[in-house]
Amino acid sequence: MQVHNRTSGVQLHITSLPAHTLGRDAYRFVDWLHEAGQSWWQVLPLGPPDRYRSPYKAQSAFAAWPGLLADRRAPVSSAEISEFRERERFWIGDWQRFAGRGAVEDQVRFDREWRALREYAAERGVRLYGDLAIYVSPGGADHRSHPQLFRPGVQAGVPPDAFASTGQLWGNPLYDWPRLQRSGYRWWVQRLARTTALFDLARLDHFRGFVAFWEVPAGARTAANGRWRRGPGRALFDAAERALGSGSSAAQGTTLALVAEDLGVITPAVEHLRDELKLPGMIVLQFGFDPGRDDSPHRFANHLEDRVVYTGTHDHDTARGWYESLDAGRRSEVTGLLDTLEITERDPSWALIELTLKSAARTAIIQAQDVLSLGSEARMNAPGTAGGAWRWALERIPPRSRASRLRELTQAAGRLSGG
């Protein structure tokens, strides 16, 4: 998916709105984004979260969380239910059996509220940017309804990295890719169809897992003793393109509106698949100041146009929290780059926002916490930990003064919504 104009947006999950729903605050935030000259509102996965509130272990890969609804009691007609059942027949029966009475009605309500919000946003030049988690929840609706699609005795994770010295033990079920291949990847094709119907663009979480994934024995206490296993590669995306796109993607890449989350242990094979599919990759400003990594794609001088650049994602500290945690050497490197680019802002959050907007990357995404200059107390998630995450929320919609400030920097960087 190619986005040809320079654009920018803000990442804020629905649960981080003051009322945590698709109600009035969501519309007020769209108005704020419009006033700030932003083109994108990025949210996290919309599915029912786990007991730790993680949307990346949702109880369904298809159903939306009723907790996001502004009006759980809104009437639903039999005609609406029938139409929804027909349109979403691949998964709605599985979800109803899992979630019980009222499950279909809640999905109809969500569909109604989401469509209204999306139309309102589109009228104001704001597009909705979603997030598709690669794995499903253990024991969730998909795992129970399609156990044959998952491998027994193993679980998902990632090897030791900068986030965790023993790796990250996610605990999600792992796909039986050969079995999925024999079905023409039907379950995944339907999942991508659902995603592209909801969003104008979607981040494809843990993209490297489609090339090779880290398999950990069930019952392991850490992810350190896992091993790499081969993923489906391009075959999955070709199947989706044939079903959802305009014919074979063999020459042109894919027309699916996706961004490859290519962070972590990235190999040439991962880069090759991303580039072959012509998917934008991701770069994170905070990764660009690692000592001895002059060749890092995250280093500001190495940013490429066909990328989405972030001050930080939901898995990172806020800009201010990160800057305040730096040692003297790395902080000096940051301030040196800011001086070189004539960024004179003293507030580290806004200095790093301006730096991100100046990136060569075609799309820039700012965390809402950074617009408010918040510290580490406002971090959304710390990978490798279970409790205490996913709880941060705005007390109120940011003031208009912050919108004006962001609009000014956005315009100076050539990213203003509407060109």
Integer Cα distance of 298 and 28 in angstroms:
33
Measured CA distances, 54 to 15, 65, 338, 381 (Å): 11, 12, 35, 9
What is the 3-state secondary structure of 276-323?
HCCCCEEEEHHHHHCCCCCCCCCCHHHCCCCEEEECCCCCCCCHHHHH
359, amino acid identity: S
What are the backbone dihedrals phi and psi of residue 228, each rounded to the nearest 5 degrees, phi first?
A: -80, 140
315 is catalytic: yes
Length of the chain: 419
Residues in a beta bridge with 212: 230
Helix (H, G, I), strand (E, B) or coil at 222: coil
Helix (H, G, I), strand (E, B) or coil at 151: strand
| Selected catalytic residue, list 50, 105, 111, 261 | 261
| Selected catalytic residue, list 31, 315, 345, 347 | 315
Q: What is the DSSP letter of 148?
A: G
Pairing of strands 168-169, 154-158: antiparallel
| Selected catalytic residue, list 111, 200, 205, 238 | 205
Active site residues: 205, 261, 315
